[in-house]
Chains A and B, each alone.
Chain A
Amino acid sequence: MRIGVPRALSFYRFHPAWAAFFDRLGVELAVSPPTNRATLEAGLRYAVAETCLPMKLFYGHVRALVGQVDQLLVPSIQRLAPGSTNCARQIGLPDLLRATMPDLPPLVAPDIDLGQEARALLSLVLEMGAPFSRNPLTLRDAVTAAWDAYRAARQAMQEGRLTPADFDRPGKAPPWPPDGIPVAVVGHPYNLYDPFINHQLLVRLARLGVNPLTPERLGPQPGADYWAFEHELVGAARLALERGVRGVIAVVAFGCGPDAVLVDEVRQLCREAGVPMMALVLDEHSGEAGLVTRLEAFVDMLRWRKADG
């Protein structure tokens, strides 16, 4: 039994938890290879034109797994707290996929809704684990292992020992310059840690002498969320500004519903704090040269401000 995991969307947040969970159940996970041109082209064949680039890449990663695995892990992430909501595409992800591709293997598609009571979560785990183990103790063990792995990964990321890009091959130390200009780079992890989607943004920043402080490196972020992952932009920007970063870069995908409004909140926070802010909007047409020019200009500007001030 092999379950395929598309290297997209929630992979960059929850993979350590899934890996531990299925490991305890004796199920092998297969992660699709890193994004490349072919991933995008495969995705574009299936996605509706208007959807966002991360979704298109998600489809591409699914195509890389179809035929290679027995089942596909496609969670529907709904709410992380009562009264919040998530992007429509992430809620409807399994439905979207089934509607788009007729030749899919069976889906493992749990509805992750942390806005519900504990009892609902319990039945979710039992239902999801049922095909693999009927023993509730094994399942409890698997859930505990998943939580522990998740917390350990968050801790490792905060300490700079791990990035979401390396979730399935740990041990690589990310090369951030510790004395670089501290700049908050806020956004969802699938936009920050997929070097294809953002033209190696983090590496380029490091080369320009910037210490990019991502939400994962900043640690737990404050604030109640309306959107499930609002904290990755607004909360992270607020926290970083409190810690005295010299600039903020918000990385968002074109066509992202929540981010369209969240970028404005980040801009507002930066204006109030008097800190320079740049929004990078990613789509399949964004060229590398344009990005490099904007990054260089932004970093130059930060240096001049320091020289003046």
Chain B
Amino acid sequence: MTRRVAFPPLGFLSRVAEAYLHALGVETVTPPPTSRRTLDIGVQGSPEMICIPCKLLFGNYVEAAERGATDIVMLGGPGTCRLGYSVAQQARRLQEWGFAVRVHTLDLYHVHRDIFRLTRAFADGRPATELVEPIRFLLALLDLTDALETGVLVARPRERERGAADRAYAAAWERIAALRTREELEEQRDDILGLLDAVGLDEDRPVLRIGLVGDVYTILTPFLNHNLEVQLGRMGVEVRRWFRYTGRVSLPLPDFLRMDRGGRARRAGSRYLKRDVGGFARSTVAEAALMAEGEVDGLIHVAPFNCTPETVAQSALVALQRERGVPVLSLSFDEQTGAAGVMTRLEAFVDMLWSARRRRR
């Protein structure tokens, strides 16, 4: 039976993963976007008190299996957070539920190692020399999508015609999904990014800058965060996500010698959270501390309700707010969170940041 690989829906990351798998010549199955049904399945198959990303991911895996996936890439890895433990429970439950799928763990603490490991597994014995080109394609893809993701966040609050930036973004993704080789990508790169540049922008419009920090799954799942980034964009806010995928490979230097952004962030954040407590907590706090040095008007911290590492980050951000005077809004999401409540809090926060900026003038 031919291998059909599924990657859980994770915003642009899953699209990059699929394009990469296609370049490797692997068939993929696209699970449906995370929805109410995904949640219902996830709740049925997960411990009651686990966080909502674990529940949703399990729902994603089941929906992928229902669509005929033979291999599922699952997120986890020891030390990450509860996902490291849940991933084994989830794999077991998939078997109990009668899905005969092979599962592959993508260790979030060793992404580079595991990308290579999974590539080898899916390439079915092809020599390593044949894998160099697909991996270079993957790196180029990440570079391109980083530019696109940042671009749409900048364009959204400034667009003259509402929705124009999102339409250009969707069109760009259609082009990216069709790419198969690095040559194609390099040829079309300017055209693809040009789609976004063609959106009419009002460069003089004053916009707020808000740093978005916290759990990556929550940031990348509009179903869970009630379309937070788009809503903020329409309120005239330029969102800065704390993570980017390129530029993260740095020389193995001790923190105090690193001049790149990651190193500077680590130094800024160590005052508030020195130890690695799992999840994305330390990086979240580090980036937040760096952004608080005048890069943004305020910070929004998002996390799933009951996320253990992010509650640690939340406490550290309280200290950051106290010491640096940067306003922080903490939002936690679960299956009970209502869209109206989120919107009200966002609007109030944005109003508050505007008046703070006016006062500073």
> Measured between alpha carbons, how far is A227 from B273 in the docked complex, in Å?
21
The interface-forming segment of A85-93, A148-156, A169-177, A240-248 is: A85-93
> Measured between alpha carbons, how far is A275 from B79 in the docked complex, in Å?
32
- Partner among B85, B277, B332 whose Cβ is within 8 Å of the Cβ of A50: B332
Is the pair B85, A258 in contact by a Cβ cutoff of 8 Å? yes
In B32-51, the 8 Å CB interface with A consists of 47-51
> Measured between alpha carbons, how far is A261 from B88 in the docked complex, in Å?
11
A111 / chain B contacts, CB cutoff of 8 Å: 275
> Measured between alpha carbons, how far is A263 from B89 in the docked complex, in Å?
12
Is the pair B82, A261 in contact by a Cβ cutoff of 8 Å? yes
* Contact status of A48 and B311, CB under 8 A, knowing A88-B278, A95-B273, A111-B275: yes
**Residue with the greatest number of chain B CB neighbours at <10 A, chosen from A51, A88, A254:** A88
B322 / chain A contacts, CB cutoff of 8 Å: 102
* Contact status of A95 and B316, CB under 8 A, knowing A50-B332, A255-B306, A261-B85: yes
- Partner among A96, A254, A261 whose Cβ is within 8 Å of the Cβ of B312: A96
> Measured between alpha carbons, how far is A227 from B277 in the docked complex, in Å?
13
- Nearest CB on A from B288, distance (A): 12
> Measured between alpha carbons, how far is A17 from B275 in the docked complex, in Å?
24
> Measured between alpha carbons, how far is A79 from B324 in the docked complex, in Å?
33
A166 / chain B contacts, CB cutoff of 8 Å: none
Is the pair A88, B306 in contact by a Cβ cutoff of 8 Å? no
* Contact status of A92 and B318, CB under 8 A, knowing A258-B82, A260-B49, A264-B47: no
Is the pair A50, B305 in contact by a Cβ cutoff of 8 Å? yes
> Measured between alpha carbons, how far is A185 from B109 in the docked complex, in Å?
35
A85 / chain B contacts, CB cutoff of 8 Å: 78-79, 84, 278
- Nearest CB on B from A270, distance (A): 15
B308 / chain A contacts, CB cutoff of 8 Å: 87-89, 257
Is the pair A88, B85 in contact by a Cβ cutoff of 8 Å? no
Contact size class for A?
20 to 34
A256 / chain B contacts, CB cutoff of 8 Å: 49
**Which residue of A is nearest B282, CB measured?**
A92
Is the pair A50, B272 in contact by a Cβ cutoff of 8 Å? no
* Contact status of A50 and B311, CB under 8 A, knowing A99-B272, A99-B316, A100-B318: yes
B332 / chain A contacts, CB cutoff of 8 Å: 50
> Measured between alpha carbons, how far is A190 from B188 in the docked complex, in Å?
60
- Nearest CB on A from B144, distance (A): 34
Fill in one digit per residue for A76-109: 1 if any B CB lies within 8 Å of its CB, else 0: 1010000111011101101110111010000000
Fill in one digit per residue for B45-61: 1 if any A CB lies within 8 Å of its CB, else 0: 00111110000000000
- B281 on interface, CB distance cutoff 8 Å: yes
- Partner among A48, A258, A260, A264 whose Cβ is within 8 Å of the Cβ of B318: A48
- Nearest CB on A from B86, distance (A): 6
* Contact status of A227 and B311, CB under 8 A, knowing A88-B281, A100-B319: no
- B315 on interface, CB distance cutoff 8 Å: yes
- B143 on interface, CB distance cutoff 8 Å: no
- B203 on interface, CB distance cutoff 8 Å: no
- Partner among B79, B89, B279, B319 whose Cβ is within 8 Å of the Cβ of A264: B89
- B207 on interface, CB distance cutoff 8 Å: no
- B81 on interface, CB distance cutoff 8 Å: yes
**Which residue of A is nearest B308, CB measured?**
A257
A78 / chain B contacts, CB cutoff of 8 Å: 275
Fill in one digit per residue for B308-347: 1 if any A CB lies within 8 Å of its CB, else 0: 1101101110110010000000101000000000000000
Is the pair A261, B89 in contact by a Cβ cutoff of 8 Å? yes
* Contact status of A99 and B318, CB under 8 A, knowing A92-B312, A254-B49, A260-B49: yes
- Partner among A99, A258, A259 whose Cβ is within 8 Å of the Cβ of B273: A99
A258 / chain B contacts, CB cutoff of 8 Å: 82, 85
- A147 on interface, CB distance cutoff 8 Å: no
- B174 on interface, CB distance cutoff 8 Å: no
- Excluding A92-B281, A98-B319, 19 further A-B contacts by CB distance (< 8 Å) are A48-B314, A50-B311, A51-B315, A85-B278, A87-B308, A89-B312, A91-B275, A94-B275, A95-B273, A95-B316, A99-B316, A100-B315, A257-B306, A257-B308, A258-B85, A260-B47, A260-B82, A261-B86, A263-B49
Query: Can you list 25 pairs linking A and B with CB atoms under 8 Å apart?
Result: A48-B314, A48-B318, A51-B311, A83-B78, A85-B78, A87-B308, A88-B81, A88-B278, A88-B308, A89-B311, A95-B272, A95-B312, A95-B316, A98-B319, A99-B273, A99-B319, A102-B322, A226-B84, A255-B311, A258-B85, A260-B50, A261-B50, A261-B86, A261-B89, A264-B89
* 8 nearest CB pairs, A to B: A257-B308, A260-B49, A99-B319, A88-B277, A92-B277, A264-B47, A88-B309, A88-B308
